[in-house]
Amino acid sequence: MATAPAPAQSDTLAQIKSLIGKAECSSDSQCQILPIGARPCGGPAGYLAWSTAKTPVSDVQALADRYRGEQQERNTRSGMLSDCRAIAPPAVSCRAGSCQLGDALDAR
């Protein structure tokens, strides 16, 4: 049975998603990848696409840092384990007026 995230974590993730909104863009250069959360073995739990056109970098980074800290604390407290598999960052592009994640970036 899966455990629901702690309320503070849910609130922080909801704030991040609200701040990002629709991630509106007019070019690929406005689209960024936001590492989100923390895996027990290190690295982000996932990624979100966001746009510099509508979202201040400092605001989104501060919330992402807080969320990562919350997850790291939860992982430590619970003794959570993971498969330690690296999750490659996805590509991001502006499609249909919003920043969207694509396939993993080529590691060449």
**Are 81 and 23 contacting, i.e. CB atoms less than 8 angstroms apart?**
no
The whole-number mean pLDDT for each consecutive block of 10 residues of the chain, a chain of 108 residues, reads: 52 96 97 94 92 95 96 87 80 96 66
Its pTM stands at 0.81
